[in-house]
């Protein structure tokens, strides 16, 4: 009898465990049967994962820089297809030796790029050595800059990136497809023929779906990448250095990237004016280095206010990763931070902030900005032409000017600020300058001045 009781108790416990287990499973994946007896799709519990196969703009900085590094790997081997002999210290005895050297590099470039491709892609698109060479040699030793990246998820570990480029190759659209396996830090690359086949032009790519059906990507010598931990500082440095490069090498692109309002006010929307600015500041641009920065986050964009080693500003207004407009100073167009501070300031502070704008422009050799702020009567009586004004400012003030604010007073609707201007904190040379200012609507103002 005792033995029977024990058996019953054990059976009850087993049944209880089974019921609890079934209940827990049902909480994880709930399946219901409709009226026709079909099992409906499972409801995923919190913490589960379902890949988003819809193509969207890339918004992950770490992934952006991983793709950028992969592109740099690919670019290295593209350059092999038309190797620049100035890059090597090898000396050749004759033309035949030189040709053999170039042939070896060309083949190494082709083999390396092919090793970055999947067997399925090579077979489906009939990719040969000739295909790789003819499609890519035109980009050898050319500037290739990422324009935009789009991404879709194939699974937890597999993502596909559609990378579109700006290039210096005229009238050529360059794009790559890079599929990454995050579980193995490996990737496959496909050329533009894949994009053409599936009809993925950049203007219609958002919202489409593409399935690669890749389960994993095995590593080889050429298709691995490093996990990138992107610090805030590195990202800002990348913004700053990229634009400095555009100023030096691709002025048309640098001009197009300027904020529209700023481009109109500073350069009259004229690229020749902009190129003159670059020419006048060419040595400075080559030496530009990021000294410090500040980040302001707004609803529709993020603003990176950068200052270089000379105390000059470059401001980036970013709407998406590495998609931004640029201002080359902080006085031509009022930034939000300035306007908020200005609106909360008293009259003396407003006058001081406007004087600061004038001296920022002066130190930038932007005499046109100051000339446009001059009181009309003062301008007519003192400076018949802009050239006269420019010459006067160069002759009577310093190459770099530091301002000390002295006495402040008000007469009717005008404000008077007496200033001491020096070329540096340590220098004993100085000028006494009196600024007379009228405050107009918003942040506008008019000035006249005297220098002793």
pLDDT of the chain along its 452 residues, tens only? 555 555 555 555 555 555 545 454 444 434 444 455 454 554 544 555 677 789 999 999 999 999 999 999 999 999 999 988 877 777 888 888 888 999 999 999 999 999 999 999 999 999 999 999 999 999 999 888 898 999 999 888 999 999 999 887 766 678 999 999 999 999 999 998 998 888 878 888 899 888 777 889 999 999 999 887 788 999 999 999 999 999 998 899 899 999 999 999 999 999 999 999 999 899 999 999 999 999 999 999 999 999 999 889 999 999 988 889 999 999 999 999 999 999 999 999 999 999 999 999 999 999 999 999 999 999 999 998 999 999 999 999 999 999 999 999 999 999 999 999 999 888 889 999 999 999 999 999 999 999 99
| pLDDT reported for residue 434 | 98
Domains 232-337 and 346-451 share a fold: yes
Percent of the chain with pLDDT over 70: 88
DSSP string computed for 169-181: STT--EEEEEEEE
Residue 436 φ/ψ, nearest 5 degrees: -110, 125
Contact call for residues 150 and 160 (beta carbons, < 8 A)? no
pLDDT tens digits for range 349-377: 999 999 999 999 999 999 999 999 999 99
- Only one residue has tokens 């597999």, namely 158
* Domain 346-451, architecture per CATH: Roll (3.10)
- Cα gap 123→338, rounded to integer Å: 59
List the one residue out of 448, 424, 259, 264 whose CA is nearest residue 358.
448
Domain 56-204 class in CATH: alpha beta
pTM of the model: 0.76
Which sequence spans correspond to the domains of the chain?
2-44, 56-204, 232-337, 346-451
| pLDDT reported for residue 310 | 87
| pLDDT reported for residue 30 | 43
With DSSP H G I counted as helix, E B as strand and the rest as coil, what are the percentages for the chain, rounded to 5?
45, 25, 35
Q: Which residues, in sequence order, are CB contacts of 195 under 8 Å at separation 6+?
A: 162, 175, 177, 201
**Cα angle for residues 396, 398, 400 (degrees, 5° grid):** 150
Q: Which residues, in sequence order, are CB contacts of 152 under 8 Å at separation 6+?
A: 52, 53, 54, 55, 56, 159, 160, 209, 210
| pLDDT reported for residue 29 | 39
| pLDDT reported for residue 305 | 96
Measured distance between the N- and C-terminal CA atoms of the chain, rounded to whole angstroms? 119
Distances (CA, A) of 430 to 342, 352, 400, 426, 427: 29, 19, 12, 11, 8
Q: Which residues, in sequence order, are CB contacts of 161 under 8 Å at separation 6+?
A: 58, 63, 67, 149, 150, 151, 177, 178, 179, 180
State the DSSP code for 38: P
Task: Count helices and strands (H / E) in the chain.
Answer: 16, 15
**Cα angle for residues 284, 167, 195 (degrees, 5° grid):** 150
Among 3.10.290, 1.10.287, 3.30.70, 3.10.450, name the CATH number for the domain at 232-337: 3.10.450
């Amino acid at each position: 009898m005792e033995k029977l009781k024990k058996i019953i108790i054990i059976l009850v416990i087993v049944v209880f465990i089974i019921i609890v287990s079934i209940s827990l499973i049902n909480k994880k994946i709930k399946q219901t049967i409709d009226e026709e007896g079909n099992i409906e799709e499972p409801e995923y519990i919190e913490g589960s994962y379902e890949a988003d196969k819809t193509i969207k703009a890339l918004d992950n900085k770490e992934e952006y820089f991983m793709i950028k590094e992969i592109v740099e790997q690919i670019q290295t081997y593209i350059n092999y297809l038309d190797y620049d002999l100035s890059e090597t210290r090898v000396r050749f005895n004759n033309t035949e030796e030189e040709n053999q050297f170039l042939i070896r590099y060309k083949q190494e470039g082709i083999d390396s790029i092919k090793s970055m491709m999947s067997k399925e892609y090579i077979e489906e698109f009939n990719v040969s050595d000739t295909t790789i060479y003819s499609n890519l040699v035109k980009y050898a030793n050319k500037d290739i800059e990422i324009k935009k990246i789009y991404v879709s998820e194939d699974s937890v570990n597999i993502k596909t990136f559609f990378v579109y480029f700006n290039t210096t190759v005229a009238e050529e659209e360059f794009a790559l497809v890079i599929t990454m396996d995050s579980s193995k830090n490996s990737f496959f690359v496909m050329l533009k023929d894949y994009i053409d086949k599936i009809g993925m032009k950049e203007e219609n790519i958002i919202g489409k779906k593409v399935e690669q059906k890749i389960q994993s990507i095995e590593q080889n010598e050429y298709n691995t990448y490093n996990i990138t931990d992107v610090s805030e500082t590195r990202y800002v440095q990348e913004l700053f250095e990229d634009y400095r490069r555009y100023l030096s090498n691709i002025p048309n692109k640098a001009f197009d990237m300027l904020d529209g309002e700023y481009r109109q006010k500073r350069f009259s929307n004229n690229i020749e004016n902009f190129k003159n600015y670059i020419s006048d500041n060419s040595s400075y641009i080559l030496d530009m280095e990021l000294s410090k920065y500040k980040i302001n986050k707004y609803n529709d964009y993020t603003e990176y206010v950068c200052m270089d080693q000379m105390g000059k500003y470059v401001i980036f207004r970013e709407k998406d990763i590495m998609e931004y407009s640029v201002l080359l100073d902080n006085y031509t167009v009022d930034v939000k931070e300035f306007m908020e501070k200005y609106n909360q300031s008293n009259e003396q502070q407003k006058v001081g902030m406007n004087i600061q704008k004038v001296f920022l422009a002066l130190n930038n050799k932007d005499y046109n900005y100051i000339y446009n702020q001059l009181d009309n009567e003062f301008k007519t009586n003192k400076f018949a032409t802009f050239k006269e004004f420019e010459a006067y400012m160069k002759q009577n003030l310093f190459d770099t000017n530091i301002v000390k604010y002295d006495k402040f007073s008000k007469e009717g609707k005008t404000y008077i600020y007496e200033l001491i201007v020096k070329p540096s904190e340590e220098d004993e040379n100085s000028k006494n300058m009196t600024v007379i200012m009228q405050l107009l609507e918003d942040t506008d103002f008019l000035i006249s001045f005297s220098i002793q």
